[in-house]
Every structure is written in C-alpha cells, then in structure tokens.
C-alpha cells in the first residue's frame, strides 16, 4: 500500500512540474535565445579616457593641519565628440570623499571632481587615489600630503583620584 501511495505521489509531483513548465512557454529565464540573432549596432562610442583632459591628475597638498578637511578640485574638459557621463567616482579609502556632477559633460565643456581628505585623527603621510569611471573609460586621480599632528590641548586632562559614591 505504501508503494502505491508513494508511486501516486511521484506521478502527481512530476505532472505538476510538467504543467508548470508548460505555463512558462514564451520566456526562457535567461537561457540563450534560440531565435534568429539580433542585429548588432555599430554605434560604439568614440570616447577614450584621454577625452577627459584633466589640468592635473595628481595633487600634493604638502603639509596640512590635522582636523580640517583638505579639498582639491580636479578640473577636466571633454575633448571628445560625445557627452561624457561619469558613472562612478570612488576613493581608495573612507578617509577620502569624492564629489562630482551627475550631469553629462558636453563636448568642449568643463566639469570638476572634488576630492575631500578627512585629516582628523590621521597624522602622518597619505597617498590616496580616486578612480573615475565613465563612458570614456577609467581615469585614476591621486592626492597626497602630510597631516601635521594637532598640538595637545592646553587644558590638562582630568586625572582625579577622587571617588564618587
């Protein structure tokens, strides 16, 4: 009896799968398209990373005080024949925050990418990169410098041995 019930259950289960497959006719969940190949457009972009013509791709802040943010604006010009669209601008670490326009940079126009280095609590040398990804390709910018340690506070630390109840 158990074998009969088990067999009926398997038959019902497999027929359910077959019915589910039939109801998915018309789409293939990402499988290769078996239909005729689609026509490929030959309108590839003519832009190259060189079309983002930066005045400089490296800035040395020299020595900066610990605490305030150090900022520099990397200015570039679109020397290509198509708009440049910056899709991502990422810093090599969380101590650097890039800011940029999300608007396309039209041919012949200029734009800026601002690099902000957070110096608080980071005395010593730094050398950080900002990676610019666009429809023209990838460009890497660099900021570097030395953060001078802030002087110790003139107010003495409270080292009281007094106990409170």
Condensed to tens digits (0 to 9), the pLDDT of residues 95-136 reads 999 999 999 999 999 999 999 999 999 999 999 999 999 999
What does the pLDDT read at residue 75? 97
Q: Does residue 91 contact residue 74 with C-beta atoms inside 8 Å?
A: no
Contact in structure between 130 and 144 (CB atoms under 8 Å): no
Binning pLDDT at 50, 70 and 90, where does residue 13 land? very low
* Predicted local distance difference test score (pLDDT) of residue 39: 36
Residue 157 scores a pLDDT above 70? no
Q: Are 116 and 69 in contact (CB under 8 A)?
A: yes
Q: What is the pLDDT of residue 152?
A: 75
Q: What is the mean pLDDT of the chain?
A: 78
Region 40-63: what's the mean pLDDT? 83
Report all structural domains of the chain as residue ranges with CATH numbers, in order of start. 49-148 (2.60.40.10)
pLDDT value of residue 159: 58
Query: What pLDDT score was predicted for residue 123?
Result: 94
At 42, the pLDDT band (50, 70, 90 cuts) reads very low
């Amino acid at each position: 009896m158990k074998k009969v019930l088990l067999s009926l259950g398997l038959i019902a289960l497999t027929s359910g799968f077959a019915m589910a497959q039939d109801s998915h006719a018309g789409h293939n969940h990402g499988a290769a398209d078996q239909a005729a190949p689609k026509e490929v457009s030959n309108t590839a972009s003519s832009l190259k990373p060189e079309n983002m013509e930066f005045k400089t791709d490296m800035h040395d802040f020299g020595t900066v005080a610990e605490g305030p943010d150090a900022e520099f604006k990397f200015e570039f010009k679109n020397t290509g024949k198509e708009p440049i669209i910056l899709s991502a601008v990422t810093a090599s670490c969380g101590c650097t925050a890039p800011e940029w326009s999300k608007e396309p940079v039209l041919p012949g126009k200029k734009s800026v990418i601002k690099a902000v280095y957070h110096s608080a609590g980071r005395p010593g040398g730094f050398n950080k990169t900002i990676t610019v990804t666009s429809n023209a390709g990838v460009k890497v910018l660099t900021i570097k410098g030395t953060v001078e340690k802030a002087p110790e506070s003139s107010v003495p630390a409270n080292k009281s041995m007094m106990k409170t109840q």
